[in-house]
Structure formats: C-alpha cells, structure tokens
Amino acid sequence: MSGKALWSGRFEGGMDEGTLRFTSSLDVDGRMAFYDIMGSLAHVRMLKARKIIPEEDADAITGGLRKLAASLKGGTFEMDYSLEDIHTNIEVKLTELIGPAGGKLHTGRSRNDQVATDFKMYLRDAALNTVDAVDRLIASLQDVAKDHRETVLPGFTHMQHAQPITLAQHMLAHAFRLGRDADRFMDAVERMNKCPLGSAALAGTTYPIDRKMTADLLGFKDPTENSMDTVGSRDYVTELAFDASMVAISLSSLCEELVLWNSQEFGFVTMDDRYSTGSSIMPQKKNPDICELTRGKTGSVIGALMTMLVTTKSLPLAYNRDLQEDKKPVMDSLETVRDCANIMAKVVATMKINDSNMLEATRKGFINATDLADYLVTKGVPFREAHGIVGEAVRYCEANHLVLDDLTLEQFKGYSPLIEEDVFNAMSVKTCVERRDSYGGTSPASTDVQLALSLQDLFDRETAVRQKDMLFQNCWDVLLNQ
C-alpha cells in the first residue's frame, strides 16, 4: 500500500515518495482520529437505518470501528505514514480487521465532507477547552478583586497617572474583557454546530441518506444547508483563529501590566517563585518570564489568523487542497492560548499584592486634581473655570516639588476664596475612590455590583460548557456502546 491511496484506480503507478511527503497531512490530522471514528460510526448507523448497505456489513463495520476506538484509547493505534491522512489510515485498518465490508463505509460520503465534519467536532471541543482555561483565569482575577475592594492604586491613561482606582476594579476590567473573549468562543461554537456529513464531494449524493440523523448522532443541532458552501468554506476556522487572537491580545495586555507592576520602579506585585526565573549571571534577578512568554506568544496566535485569511482569500468554490492548510494554524493557536490562560491563572492567584506601594504611588502625578476641580464645581465654579484654577495650582506644585496635598488652606484660598477646610477630605484618595459610585465606577460599592455580575457571567458560561460537554459525551457513549 506504500505510496498508494485507496482510490488509486485512476493511476497506473504509485505516488512518488516526495509527493507523499508533500501532500501528507497525517502529522496534523492524526489529532482528529477519535472524531473520524465517531463520524464513521454515525455514518454507518445511518447507512444501516436507511438500508443503503446490508445490515451484516454495517454491523461488521461498527464492530471494527469500535475496536479501533479502543486501540486509540489504549494507545496501541499505530499510524501508517505511507498513507496520506488519518481518514485513509482508519479505513485501511478497518478493512484489515473486517475484510471487504470495510470498503462500504465510504458509501454516500466524500473525504471533503468527512474532513469538515471531523474538524468541526475537534474544534468544538478545543474551543470549549479554551473557554475553560480562560474562565479559570477570570476566576483568579475575581478572587483578587474580592480581597482588594479597598486597595487603592493609580489608574493610568497614556501610561500617566490619571485618577485613583481600586485594585478590584482593575482586576475586574481584565475579567470582563476576558469574559467577552470567552463568549465569542461560545458564539462561534453555536454558529459552527451544523453537520457537514452527507454533503459529499460538493453536490450531495444520490443515496437516500438521512443527514438529520447523522447530525443528531454527532451532537450537531442541524445539517448544513448547502453542500458547496459546506465543503468549500472555512469561515468557522477563521472565526476561531480570530477569537484566539483576541484572547492572546487580552492576555498580552494583562501580562504587560504585571511585568511593569513587578518591576522595582512600580513594586505593586511580587511574582511567586514558582512562576519566575533567575538570571544566568545576575544572582539578584527574579524575572517575570511567564508573563513575558505569554506576551511573546501573541505573535504566533495572530499569525495563525493571518494564515487563515490569506489561505482562504481567493479560493473558488467548492473544495480546494489549499484547505488542508487550515488545521495546524488554528489547532496550534488554540493550544497556545489555552496553555497561556491556564498558567496565567496560577500567576494571578499566587502573586503577592503590595498594597502599601500602590497607595504610596497615588501621591505622584497629581492624581486627585480632577477631584479638586469637582470640589470647586460643588462650590458653584463652572467646570472649565475650575479646570483652569487647578491647572495653576498644579504648575505651582511642580515648580516647587510639591503635591496638592502639601498645600495649606491659605495657599488654596489664593487660587479660590471658595475653598474651605473640607477640601482636604475631598482630595484624599479614599474619598476620591468612594465618591465614584456611578454604575461601573471604581468605588467599593460599584465594584461589588461588578463582581456579582462577573460571577454570574462566569457561572452561566461554565454551565453552558458543561451542558455541551455532556451532550457530546452522550453522543460518543451511544455510538460506542449502543
């Protein structure tokens, strides 16, 4: 069989070894072996129910496929690299097990719809596993938020001190962003969950198949609507590559901040020894390498999205062999963001928060200037005029190496006679934070509401993932045991 495919009748000679190596996809699509067997079990069950192949042949095929599934689970399934893909491997092994009846398995289908079905099933699980990993990180961020409702630190815009915020709000900002990323995966899984099987090469089949039956057996909500679109489109792959890129970008943003916060200049956090590395020459170093590596891996994930966009940009309908190249990029990108999210969940859960350094940093950058302006507004000063008054006070402080809190009441009255003793309480960072109690704001009261919403969002998504996992597992149990 070396160098020859099952369907080599059209050709007089075997495939050149160089051609085999160039066209082989086994190293990549071998990851779909389990799903290929599940798809075949559903297909043969339908062929039997529709009396398209004899009952005894269908039963023999089912028995053989179940043996292959057992060998795959037991680790004894061996790939034959003289065959170009996983689909051929399984069909050849099946025929070796049960004889010529194995050749009837491919009735009413093509490798085109077969591979699309396998890949969708693989991607459903990979996407849900990625959501699990992202949700673990979200839970770690939520835990930090719970413990630091009143921990105050500078909030930044343009990497300049802007206004005081709570650490709870900062952690929840990342949690909500990552929650949207996880929701995109859930949306994508729902959108892609239509079964390609039965579309055949591109035009459907003349056999009286039941596509709804195979869709139900494999956990899909419906069959796909158009056979040409089914085998010729990979928008669901590109969508998942985009979703993975968004997770990678969110992770990179979080990691960038933690790298800065871990530096001596900030000193806001200290990384746990288990998630840090040392220097080969500088014994004092404790490097935040996990964060840096996660930030660095963003490039390859975004690259996978670019690969999919370029690979599919000019393809005519229906199937083209270019689409063999759709698997590795998205498989690798999903695995990368999954690994990164999993380890970042541990980094966040174990890092030490240096509350006092965060609070001390709020004394820099005139972080309460807006609150002084708001104070003047409460005294009847128009905001634009108040803005100018505070700007003058800030210039004076900068010239004299002071902060606003250092000014005396007499000095404040020099800028506006409306300023009274209560200005000092109004400008304290604690007051600044507590007064920002608008919906979505940084006050402890506001972040309590945000945390409750984030926790509910996490619970709902975890429930949805479990339900889908149970649905798919039930499908496999039926196909393997009933």
Torsion of CA 10, 13, 14, 17, to 10 degrees: -130
C-alpha 451/C-alpha 148 separation (Å) is 12
> Which H/E stretch holds residue 157?
strand 152-157
Which residues have a Cβ under 8 Å from the Cβ of 93 and sit 6 or more positions away?
68, 77, 80
C-alpha 260/C-alpha 267 separation (Å) is 8
Active-site entry in 158, 314, 401, 438: 158
CB 405 within 8 A of CB 424: yes
Q: Which ranges of 262-288 would DSSP assign to H, the alpha helix?
A: none
Give me the sign of the Cα torsion angle 331, 337, 338, 339.
positive
Active-site entry in 2, 8, 263, 279: 279
Q: Which three-class secondary structure state does DSSP give residue 196?
A: coil
Give me the sign of the Cα torsion angle 45, 47, 48, 49.
positive
Q: Where are the beta strands (DSSP E) in 282-440?
A: 352-353
C-alpha 186/C-alpha 207 separation (Å) is 35
C-alpha 228/C-alpha 224 separation (Å) is 10
To the query of whether residue 279 is one of the catalytic residues in this protein, the response is: yes
Least Cα distance to 448 among 173, 174, 169 occurs for: 169
How do strand 352-353 and strand 269-270 relate by DSSP bridges? Answer: antiparallel
CB 376 within 8 A of CB 389: yes
- DSSP symbol at 322: G
List the structure tokens of 315. 């393809």
C-alpha 385/C-alpha 152 separation (Å) is 29
Q: Which ranges of 110-197 would DSSP assign to H, the alpha helix?
A: 111-147, 167-192
CB-count exposure of residue 359 (10 Å: 0-12, 13-18, 19+) = middle
- 444-to-76, 388, 454, 464 alpha-carbon distances in Å: 57, 30, 15, 30
List the structure tokens of 331. 């498989």
Residues forming the active site: 158, 279
